[in-house]
Structure 1
Amino acid sequence: MKNVCILARVSTLQQDYERQISELTQFADANNMNVVKIFANKISGATKNEDRTEIQELISYVKTNKVDKVLCLEISRLGRNTLEALKVIELLNQHKIPLYVKNYSLETIDEHGKVNPMAQLLITLLLEIGNMERTTIRQRMESGYKNHIANGGSVGRKIGYKKSDEEIKSQYTEEIKLLRKGYSLRNITKITGTSVNTLRKVKSIAV
């Protein structure tokens, strides 16, 4: 039976990583793996590795204990900063410990203990695609805002005016897409500039 560690992360205190842990534990049980340690944290994926306690504890643990594999549910749980995420993979590679990304069935080291170049490439691409998507949405939102102002649009609303649910859905289409994809409120705020309180209202109406 192989000894494995679970790595889980959510971006905000309001979120819960228990779903990730539960799904990965079930996967381990079904594949004759023994979960020896779980590393989880509530912190932004853009945070540097040295400021993420779960990453530091994971690296320290695998250096001194027998670990055959590290499991994570999605590559974004490793981090949203491509360079920082790849640093973690490289540290695991140095100790011949594969990272298994469940939602894509990717494993960074093959059964012969060799680095899997295709998995490394795909993981890098997935991380970069995620970054591009967030940048594109942010730019689209900024462009729409500037166009709205340039065409005489105003910011804010008249006193006593309350938007209908349909108006809210129409105004916050990008935010709704991100909410339905599972992005945290905090990350959506960073991408779109929309406040967390507004996002909560949008979520209650449209998601």
Structure 2
Amino acid sequence: MNILYTRISTIEQKNNRQVQNAKEFDYVIEDKCSGATPFFERDGGKRIKKMIAKSQITKVTVHQIDRLGRNLLDILNTIDFFNKKGICINFIQQGIKTLNDDGTENPISKMIISVLGVVAEMERNLIRERQAEGIAIAKANGVYKGRVLGTKESNLDFLNKPKVKLAIEFLNRGKKSVEVQKLTLLHRNTITKIKKLNKLLNNEK
């Protein structure tokens, strides 16, 4: 059975791009969760694992590598699990397969996946480092005040929230407030607050 696996980060996100050729597959499994969630801890990942245990899957197709995860180690461990079961993963966008036609591991795909995963991790770490540097500079200049009297959390705690980090990442990519609101499910007032703090930190760099 050839499975098409898709993942979107939020309920409101659409996966039209990932399911364009859904009719070509025997089964479509979709997850709606963060890419940071390990593959086999997702609802769809658990279903796939059960199907593998019943020898129901021969091939899995994914639109692109980051649909499997955002952590390189988790991606490689997931691929290794499929490889040991003799199940090939086909990544459409990258045009690579994890196994050759004879069932042996494809060393070229492993190298490419490792490189892409490292680059993606470096990009995310760079974003976090820049954010931390901006906060440090703002503190040194007396601009970053942290917790304001009467509030429940400091700006640092606020900026370190997973959804807020995700919103900052989207804003830094040039997405509009409305788009970020839909992608993160955050209130528009929260997005406005994020934009102000993010602009303040960027100006201090």
SS at match of 2:26: strand
Q: Which amino acid aligns with 1:198?
A: I
Structure 1 residue matching 2:137: 3-state secondary structure: helix
Instruction: Name the aligned partner's letter for residue 191 of structure 2.
Output: T
What displacement does 1:60 show?
Answer: 2.0
Alignment correspondent of 2:104: 114
User: Would the aligned equivalents of 2:2 and 2:57 in 1 still touch at CA under 8 Å?
Assistant: yes
Q: CA deviation at 1:201?
A: 8.7
Question: Percent sequence identity over matched residues?
Answer: 26
Q: Which amino acid aligns with 1:126?
A: L
- What 5-or-longer segments of structure 2 have no aligned partner? 147-166, 196-205
CA-CA distance at 1:13 after TM superposition: 2.2
Alignment of 1:176 onto 2:171: yes
**1:63/1:95 contact within 8 Å kept:** no
- Aligned: 1:197 with 2:197: no
User: What pairs up with 1:15-164 in 2 under 5 angstroms?
Assistant: 15-22=13-20, 24-25=21-22, 34-154=24-144
- What is the aligned residue count? 168
Residue ranges of structure 1 left out of the alignment (5+ in a row)? 157-171, 190-194, 203-207
Which whole-Å deviations, capped at 9, do the CAs of 1:29-84 have from their partners, x for residues lacking one? 6xxxx411111111111113342111121122234345442111111100112222
* Structure 1 runs of 4+ with >6 Å offset: 199-202
Partner SS state of residue 101, structure 2: coil
What residue is the counterpart of 1:205 in the other structure? none
8 Å CA contact retained: 1:106, 1:119: yes
Contact persistence 2:72–2:118 (CA under 8 A) = yes
**TM-score normalised to the size of structure 2?**
0.68
